[in-house]
Amino acid sequence: MLALGVAAALALAAAQYFSPLSGAVMAGRDVRVALLGERSSILLAYHPFSGTVNAFTFSHSKAKRGASGWQRASALAVSAGASEEARQEDVFFVALSTAPDLDVLWGTLNNWRAEPRLFFSAARWVYGLRAAGATNLSAFDLFTLFSEFSQLTASNFILTEAQRKPEEPGEAAEARGPAPRVEVFNASGKKDLAAKAAKYLRARGFDVLTAASYARRERQTRILGFSENTAAALELRAALGLEELEIRVRPSQKSVAGAVVILGEDFDPAILEK
């Protein structure tokens, strides 16, 4: 029994050592996994240090013949802000025959510990894809990814609808600048909430461009970003104590602000008294 335990431990250590994804996570480097469809793709950029995932969705034309899965994934990574010098082994891909679906992925990631069959089914699926050259993930890479993501909640995922066409392999990515300015809208029905929130945020160094009533009431508070650089949205969320809130990013929606908060009926004004 002891020998079996030692053998299992050695096998696990060897798998971790030879797994590029596991090595990147252990070193704290960003890991990017592209789910490649013919007409749309999703890039998951996992940041182990902060425990967040940027999920970029791309619409694009059919991939050029001859482009490898890794080349397509790297092009998406560059389009989503990765440097040209990003380590090659930190970009992974899964080529799909249909459009990628985050809801399906999220369900598996959230439930595989309670239902181990989900992981084994996914591992068999990845094994078949790897044999066909449709992924550079191994079963252990998948296990590492599942283990990391299963510790996250929806608030750790930042969804970005990438409007810019992904660069073809070899093309340079456009520079992205910071977007520190914010807007505040009151959709809660509570009197003067936008003005109070604006005063609160300005005292904390935010440049609040707008503080006004929203066109209609909203039950839930929302934070929207208008730049693929999510720094302003993340700072806004933290300042308002809304760490559990999901951020949605819409760079196609033109605004001079970097982010906007729409204060819904669920927002607690007591936060502004702190």
How far is residue 12's CA from residue 60's CA, in Å, rounded to a whole number?
39
pLDDT of residue 11: 40
Residue 3 has phi, psi (to 5 degrees) of: -65, -40
Residue 69 is encoded by which pair of tokens? Answer: 């899965």
Residue 270 CB coordination number (10 Å): 8
- Provide the whole-model pTM: 0.57
**Structural Rg of the chain based on CA atoms:** 21
User: What structural domains does the chain harbor?
Assistant: 19-162 (no CATH), 181-273 (3.30.70.2390)
Other beta carbons within 10 angstroms of residue 49's beta carbon come to 8
**207 strand-pairing partners:** 181
* Matching residue, tokens 């899964």: 94
* pLDDT attached to residue 179: 34
Predicted local confidence at residue 172, as pLDDT:
36
**16 and 57 in contact (C-beta within 8 Å)?**
no
Helical pair 116-131 and 102-111, crossing angle rounded to 10 deg: 130
The pLDDT, as a whole number, for residue 261 is: 93
**If we measure between CA atoms, which residue out of 247, 203, 206 comes closest to residue 226?**
247
Which residues does the chain have with pLDDT short of 50? Answer: 1-18, 164, 167-179
Can you give the pLDDT at residue 174? 38
CA-nearest of 232, 176, 242 to 205 is 232
Given this model, what pLDDT does residue 25 score?
A: 78
Q: Which residue in this structure is represented by tokens 């959230």?
A: 110
Q: How far apart are alpha carbons 231 and 83 in whole angstroms?
A: 17
